[in-house]
Chains A and B, each alone.
Chain A
Amino acid sequence: MARKLPRKDVVIVGLGWTGAILAHELTESGLDVVAIERGPWRDTATDFNIGYVSDELRYAVRRDLFLQPAQETLTMRNTTSQTALPMRDFGSFLPGTGVGGAGVHWNGHTWRFYPSDFNLKSHLTERYGAARLADLQIQDWGVSYDEMESAYDRFEYLCGISGKAGNIGNKIQPGGNPFEGPRKRDYPLPPMEMTYAPTLFAEAARSLGLHPFPTPSANLSKAYVNPLGIAMGQCTMCGFCERFGCANYSKSSAQTTVLPVLMRKSNFEARCNSEVLHVNLDATGKMARGVTYVDGNGEEWEQPADMVLLCAYGLHNARLMMLSKIGKIYDPQTGEGTVGRNYAYQTNAGVQLFFDDKNFNPFVAAGALGQTVDDFNGDTFDHAALDFVGGAGINCIPTNGRPIGFRPTPPGTPRWGSAWKKATRDNYLKAFGFSSQGSSYAARGNYLDLDPTYKDRFGRPLMRMTFDFPDNDIRMSHWVSDRMEEIAKALKPRQYVQARRNKSWNSVPYQSTHNTGGAIMGADPKTSAVNKFLQSWDVPNVFVIGASAFPQNAGKNPTGTVGALAFWAADAIRNQYLRNPGPLVQA
Chain B
Amino acid sequence: MLSGWYFFKPDEARALEAIVDRLIPPDDLSIGGKDAGCAAFIDRQMAGSYGDSSRLYTKGPFMHGLPTQGYQGDATPAMRYRAGLAAIDAYLKKAMSNRGFAQLTAAEQDLFLKDLEAAKVDLGKIDGKALFNLVLQNTMEGFFADPIYGGNRDMASWKMIGFPGARYDYRDHVAKHNQPYPHGPISIGGSPDWSRKG
Whether B141 contacts A57 by the Cβ 8 Å rule is yes
Interface residues on B, range: 35 or more
B59 CB-CB contact with A under 8 Å: yes
Distance A359 CA – B168 CA, assembled complex (angstroms): 20
Report the separation of the CA atoms of residues A451 and B6 in the bound assembly, to the nearest whole angstrom. 39
Q: How distant is the Cα of A116 from the Cα of B71 in the complex, in angstroms?
A: 40
Does A364 contact B59, Cβ atoms closer than 8 Å? Answer: no
A403 touches B68 (CB 8 A): no
Shortest beta-carbon distance from A416 to chain B in Å: 4
Task: For residue B140, give the distance in angstroms from its CB to the closest CB of chain A.
Answer: 7
A93 to chain B, nearest CB (A): 12
Main secondary structure of the interface of A (DSSP, over half): loop
Evaluate contact between B69 and A507: CB separation under 8 angstroms: yes
**Do B70 and A418 touch across chains, with their CB atoms under 8 A apart?**
no
The reply to whether the CB of B113 lies closer than 8 angstroms to some CB of chain A is yes
Q: With A and B bound together, what is the CA distance between A401 and B170 in angstroms?
A: 13
A236 touches B61 (CB 8 A): no
Q: Is B177's beta carbon under 8 Å from chain A?
A: yes
- Distance (whole angstroms) from the CB of A45 to the closest CB of chain B: 15
A236/B171 in contact, CB under 8 A:
yes
Min CB–CB distance A48 → chain B (angstroms): 11
Contacts of B163 in A (CB 8 A): 363, 401-403, 428
Pick from B30, B56, B68, B157 the residue with the most CB of A within 10 Å.
B68
Q: Bound complex: CA of A451 vs CA of B17, how far in Å?
A: 44
Q: In the bound complex, how far is the Cα of B109 from the Cα of A562, in angstroms?
A: 54
When distances are taken between beta carbons in the complex, the residues of chain A under 8 Å from B27 are 418, 421
Q: How far is the CB of A509 from chain B (nearest CB, A)?
A: 10
Contact code string A406-428 (vs B, CB < 8 Å = 1, else 0):
01000000011110011011001
Give per-residue flags for B46-70: 1 if the beta carbon is below 8 A from chain A beta carbons, else 0: 0001100111111101010111111
Determine the main DSSP class of B at the interface with A: loop
Could you say which of B61, B157, B179 contacts A359, with CB atoms under 8 Å apart? B179
Within A77-96, the residues touching B (CB, 8 Å) are 77-78, 82-83, 85-89, 91
Q: Does B162 contact A (CB under 8 A)?
A: yes
Contacts of B148 in A (CB 8 A): 55
Asked if A50 lies at the interface with its beta carbon under 8 angstroms from chain B, I say yes
A65-73, A124-132, A325-333, A382-390 - the one binding chain B: A65-73
- Find the B residue at minimum CB distance from A361: B181
* Number of A-B pairs, beta carbon distance below 8 Å: 169
Distance of A551 Cα from B164 Cα, bound (Å) = 44
Q: Which residues of B contact A196 (CB under 8 A)?
A: 177-178
Q: Is the CB of A508 within 8 A of B141?
A: no
Q: Quick one: closest B residue to A504, CB to CB?
A: B68
| A89 x B71 contact (CB < 8 A) | yes
**Is B24 in contact with chain A by the CB < 8 A criterion?**
yes
Q: How far is the CB of A63 from chain B (nearest CB, A)?
A: 9
> B140-178: which have CB < 8 Å to A?
140-141, 144-146, 148-149, 157-158, 160-171, 173-175, 177-178
Assembled-state Cα–Cα distance A83/B65 (Å) = 8
A424 to B62, CA, bound (A): 38
A57 close to B145 (CB less than 8 A): yes
Q: Are B25 and A506 in contact, CB atoms less than 8 angstroms apart?
A: no
Which residues does chain B contribute within 8 Å of A417, judged by CB atoms?
Answer: 22-23, 25, 110
Residues facing B in A40-61 (CB within 8 A) are 50-52, 54-57, 61
A240 within 8 A of B: yes
Judge whether B72 is part of the interface by a CB distance below 8 angstroms: yes
Question: Is B136 within 8 A of A361, CB to CB?
Answer: no
**Chain A residues closer than 8 Å to B65, beta-carbon distance:** 85
Q: How far is the CB of B157 from chain A (nearest CB, A)?
A: 7
Q: CB-nearest residue of chain B relative to A72?
A: B57
- Check A70–B54 contact: CB distance below 8 A: yes
User: Would A364 and B170 count as touching, CB distance under 8 A?
Assistant: yes
Q: Which residue of chain A has its CB nearest to the CB of B189?
A: A52
Identity of the chain B residue whose Cβ is nearest the Cβ of A53 in the assembled complex = B168
- List residues 389-448 of chain A with CB under 8 A from any CB of chain B: 401-404, 407, 415-418, 421-422, 424-425, 428-429
For A566, list chain B residues within 8 Å (CB): none
Report which of B30, B158, B164, B180 forms a contact with A421, defined as CB distance below 8 A: B30
In the complex, chain A residues whose CB is within 8 Å of the CB of B171: 234, 236-237
CB distance from A201 to the nearest CB of B (A): 13
Is A570's beta carbon under 8 Å from chain B?
A: no
Q: In the bound complex, how far is the Cα of B149 from the Cα of A73, in angstroms?
A: 28
Check: A195 CB closer than 8 A to any chain B CB: yes
Chain A residues 224-258 with CB under 8 Å of chain B are 234, 236-240, 247-248
How many Å lie between the Cα of A54 and that of B148 in the bound state? 12
**Which residues of chain A are near B179, meaning CB under 8 Å?**
359, 361
- A238 to B178 alpha-carbon distance, docked (Å): 18
Report if A489 contacts B (CB, 8 A): no
**B29 contacts the other chain (Cβ, under 8 Å)?**
yes
Whether B158 pairs with A506 at a CB distance below 8 angstroms is no
CB neighbours of B146 from chain A (8 A): 54-57
**B residues less than 8 Å from A73 (CB atoms):** 57
> In the assembled complex, which residues on chain A have CB atoms less than 8 Å from the CB atom of B115?
none
**B139: A residues at CB distance < 8 A:** 416
The yes or no answer to A179 lying at the interface (CB within 8 A) is no
Distance A50 CA – B167 CA, assembled complex (angstroms): 9
Cα A85 to Cα B171 with chains together (Å): 46
**CB within 8 Å for A88 and B71 given contacts A70-B58, A193-B175, A404-B144:** yes
Query: A265 near B: Cβ within 8 Å?
Result: no
Q: Which one of B67, B161, B181, B188 lies within 8 Å of A364 (CB-CB)? A: B181
Give Cα A73–Cα B55 distance, bound, in whole angstroms. 11
Q: How far is the CA of A272 from the CA of B89 in the complex (A)?
A: 49
**Interchain CA distance A500-B165 in the complex, whole Å:** 32
In the bound complex, CA of A262 to CA of B72 (Å)? 43
**B30 to chain A: which residues have CB within 8 Å?**
421
Contact A69 B68 (CB under 8 A): no
Contacts of A78 in B (CB 8 A): 66, 68
- CA gap between A69 and B22 in the complex, in Å: 34
Task: Chain B residues near A429: list those with CB within 8 A.
Answer: 161-162, 180
Is B58 touching A88 in the complex (CB atoms < 8 A)?
Answer: yes
- 16 additional A-B pairs beyond A363-B164, A416-B113, beta carbons within 8 Å, are A54-B146, A62-B49, A70-B58, A73-B57, A77-B69, A87-B70, A89-B71, A238-B168, A239-B170, A360-B178, A401-B163, A403-B158, A416-B136, A421-B25, A429-B180, A506-B68
- 30 intermolecular pairs with C-beta atoms under 8 Å apart: A54-B165, A54-B167, A54-B168, A57-B146, A70-B54, A78-B66, A83-B63, A85-B66, A88-B53, A88-B72, A89-B56, A199-B177, A236-B169, A236-B170, A237-B169, A248-B168, A363-B170, A364-B181, A404-B145, A416-B24, A417-B22, A417-B25, A418-B25, A421-B27, A421-B160, A424-B161, A429-B162, A454-B59, A455-B59, A507-B70
